[in-house]
Amino acid sequence: MKPVRLPAAATLALPRWALLALGMLYILPGLIGRDLWKEDAGSFGIMWTMARGGLDDWLYPNVAGLANAEEGPLAFWLGALCIKLFGWILGDVLAARVSTICIFVTGAMSLWYTAFHLGRRAEAQPLRLAFGGQPEPDDYGRTLGDTAVLIYLGCLGLLLQSHLTLAPTLQGALLAYFLYRAVRYVEHTSTRNAVLVGLSLGALTLTRGFLAPLALVVALFACTRYLKLPVAATLRHLAIALGVAFGLTLVWILPALLAQPYGMSPVSDWLAWNSQQLGLPSLVSLKAFFRIGIWFFWPAWPFALWAVWAWRRQRKLLHIVLPVFFFATLAALQLCDPAPENGDFLKMLPPLALMAAFGLPTMKRGAINAIDWFSVMVLTILGAFVWLFWVAKLTGWPAQLAKNALKLVPGFKPEVGIVAFVVATAASIGWIMLVQWRLSRQPSVLWRAVVLSSGGLILLWVLLMTLFLPDLNYSKSYAGVAQQIAARLPADSGADGSGSGCIDTNITPAQRASLAFYGRLPFKTLAGGECDYVLLRDSVKTRDDREMMRKYGVRNPAALWEGRRASDRDERFRLFRRDR
């Protein structure tokens, strides 16, 4: 017997304007007004270098002359294209983040349509009620689409990663699109759908390598075998999909091999990076998977586990089989990664959110009410604390909170931003109205269990990205350091990094991108050559740096400039001129 019993009143769709408003309120804060931070400055540096450079930079991704071709170029192409199109009106940083908005919308819409199509299938429908009144298939599908997106927005991992201009962010959105294409292929096993599956696989390959796409092909084939689809037709279609994916990948590989940008080929670096992403599973990778996954996938994973349990007696259910197969395959791939990063978990979030959406209708009313009350109490208290910390840093009361709020940003002078205050206030009022609607009307709609958790998480994000954005920019930005270095360089230094007036350095890609953008510093390019200047980064605790100075050819220990960010008491930058 099916575990779902719902009246039609429970499947009223969330108004489109409300879902759109939640999505924009989710993605825009953290993009507008944010300086370059180390979390994604390196990726922006690649996009900015492409946008202001030539064909070699588009074929060989690099951060102001520092090679960075390991992942693939697609995410950086999108950001560079947005800089070209919108940089003149939005500024280069915000223009690059237009691609982030498009990526977020692509992922959310793909997940919605995937849940919608799966929810309309006969095996996913609720039990027919004795006197009628059960929901129509399309209404149930729309409700599940809304629920899947709300769960997706409520996940902590997506919140922290979706605002960064990174390749893993695009990979996660493309994985959601691949899910949609896979569902459409299983529903209609046609050559057209196989080609579209191949296009999504090719885009994934150009974004983060070929390991995940190959794993997805294996998972899709296993899924079709479990569902007893014809073997010959499936193999033929998967071969077509792989051929299309390989053809799309050649759009970058062939020109890169033929043109040899900067006299080198980025393809070898890309292939080497791909091979390094696969190793034997270990206890360390298993611990990392659960340590990161528990908070990254919250609150989707409890709903997803419940979905598998609730539907366990049913067989050949596409809405359970497909996401389970894909999640299990991607999880196995993640366990084989010798050095997993937080962003790598994004690709597992869409199938998990999809499973969670089909688990929610099977939950008891008491469990749903408990989730509501937990969301209301915890998120309201956290929101009140954010406001209290903001008041404390401005007024000095309460004293202990003011001390805690300001000790991480020494030298920072807080001020009231009128626009930020208005946005934060409006978001807080909206949260109060949402809670009042939930508690006074006691709606029976299915998505009521997740709209509060998603809305509360969005509230906290909006408060942090408005009330505390100046503090975070002050703490994380290298704009001040870049301007100080630029002021000490002579006016005739090589502005394009090709002359002897360029700068050789040991700083990280994120720092290189920030300093190149904010200070227009002429770093050494991939073309090579000798530079007159050296910028070294180390710690103020360093007792003996002679080896580092010898490596970079610094003979005169007297620095032209020395400085650091005011918020960082350990990191140190020093600018030297090479003696010839």
Cα dihedral 16, 18, 20, 22 in deg (nearest 10): -150
Residue 2 pLDDT: 66
- 398: tokens are 């309460």
Residue type, 199: L
Class of residue 105 by CB neighbours under 10 A (exposed 0-12, middle 13-18, buried 19+):
middle
Where does 53-166 have alpha helices with state H? 55-59, 74-90, 92-119, 137-154, 156-161
**Run of H or E including 168:** helix 167-187
352 in the same domain as 384: no
Q: What are phi and psi of 232, to 5 degrees?
A: -60, -45
Structure tokens at 184: 């459409």
User: Do 294 and 383 belong to one domain?
Assistant: no
| Residue 280 burial by Cβ neighbours in a 10 Å radius (0-12, 13-18, 19+) | exposed
Asked if residue 7 belongs to a domain, the reply is: no
For residue 573, being part of any structural domain is answered with yes
Residue 328 main-chain phi, psi, to 5 deg = -65, -40
Same domain, 399 and 420: yes
Can you count the helices (H) and strands (E) in the chain?
A: 24, 6
pLDDT for the residue numbered 493: 61
Beta bridge partners of 505: 535
CA-CA distances (angstroms) from residue 183 to 314, 323, 398? 19, 10, 55
Residues 324 and 457 in one domain: no
Identify the domain boundary among 450, 476, 502.
476
> Beta strand 561-563 with 571-577: parallel, antiparallel or unpaired?
antiparallel
Q: What is the pLDDT of residue 1?
A: 53
Q: Are residues 356 and 378 in the same domain?
A: no
The residues that bridge with 32 in the sheet, in sequence order, are 29
What does R_g of the chain's alpha carbons equal in angstroms? 26
Question: How much is the pLDDT for 548?
Answer: 86
What residues have CB less than 8 Å from 32, skipping those under 6 apart?
94
Structure tokens of 325?
Answer: 């197969």
What CA dihedral angle connects 102, 107, 109 and 113, to 10 degrees?
150
Paired residues of 503 in beta bridges: 523, 533
> Tokens 């993640």 correspond to what residue?
334
User: In whole angstroms, what is the distance from residue 29 CA to residue 57 CA?
Assistant: 31
The pLDDT assigned to 496 comes to: 52
The tokens for 160 are 């922290």
Residue 525: what are its φ and ψ, rounded to 5°? -90, 175
Residue 400 inside a domain? The answer is yes
Among the three residues 312, 341, 362, which one is the final residue of a domain in this structure? 362
Asked, for residue 6, whether it belongs to a domain, the answer is no
Regarding whether 187 and 95 lie in a shared domain, the answer is yes
Please report, as a single letter, which amino acid is at residue 273. Answer: W
Last residue of a domain, one of 341, 362, 383: 362
Establish if 10 belongs to a structural domain: no
Question: CB-based burial of residue 460 (10 Å sphere; 0-12 exposed, 13-18 middle, 19+ buried)?
Answer: middle
CA distances (Å), 250 to each of 46, 72, 205, 236, 246, in order? 21, 12, 10, 21, 6
Question: Quick check: is 9 in a domain?
Answer: no
The answer as to whether 1 is a domain residue is no
| Closest listed residue to residue 63, CA positions, set 394, 481, 484, 511 | 511
Q: Which two tokens stand for residue 260?
A: 């040899």
For residues 120 and 141, is the Cβ–Cβ distance under 8 A? Answer: yes
CA 294 to each of CA 213, 290, 302, 433, 449: distance values in angstroms, whole numbers, following the listed order: 25, 6, 10, 31, 20
Is residue 436 domain-shared with residue 358, that is, in the same domain?
A: no
Cβ neighbours for 78, distance < 8 A, ≥ 6 positions apart: 99, 102, 103, 170
Kindly state whether residues 450 and 546 are assigned to the same domain: no
Residues in Cβ contact with 167 at an 8 Å cutoff, skipping those fewer than 6 apart: 43, 71, 72, 74, 75, 76, 207, 208, 343
- If DSSP codes are grouped into helix, strand and coil, which group holds residue 125? coil
Together in a domain, 282 and 133: yes
Is residue 518 within 8 Å of residue 479, measured between CB atoms? yes
Burial class (CB in 10 A: 0-12, 13-18, 19+), 174: buried
Domain containing 333 equals 15-362
Task: Please give the pLDDT value at position 130.
Answer: 62
How many domains, in total, are found in the chain? 3
Q: Give first-to-last CA distance, the chain, whole Å.
A: 84
**339 and 390 housed in the same domain:** no
Per-residue pLDDT of the chain (580 residues; tens, 9 = 90+): 567 777 777 787 788 888 999 999 999 999 999 999 989 999 999 999 999 999 999 999 999 999 998 899 999 999 999 999 999 999 999 999 999 999 999 999 999 999 999 999 988 888 777 666 678 889 899 999 999 999 999 999 999 899 999 999 999 999 999 999 999 999 999 999 999 999 999 999 999 999 999 999 999 999 999 999 999 999 999 999 999 999 999 999 999 999 999 989 899 999 999 999 988 888 888 999 999 999 999 889 999 999 999 888 887 889 999 999 999 999 999 999 988 888 999 999 999 999 999 998 888 877 777 877 888 899 999 999 999 999 999 998 888 888 888 887 888 888 888 999 999 999 999 999 988 887 777 677 888 778 888 999 999 999 999 999 999 999 999 999 999 999 988 776 655 555 567 899 999 999 999 999 999 999 998 887 788 899 999 988 877 788 888 888 888 778 889 998 888 888 999 999 887 6
Q: What is the DSSP letter of 523?
A: B
Contact 223, 325 (CB under 8 A): yes
Residue pair 135/10 in contact by the 8 Å Cβ criterion = yes
Q: 174 lies in a domain?
A: yes
Same domain? 407 vs 353: no
Same-domain status, 379 and 503: no
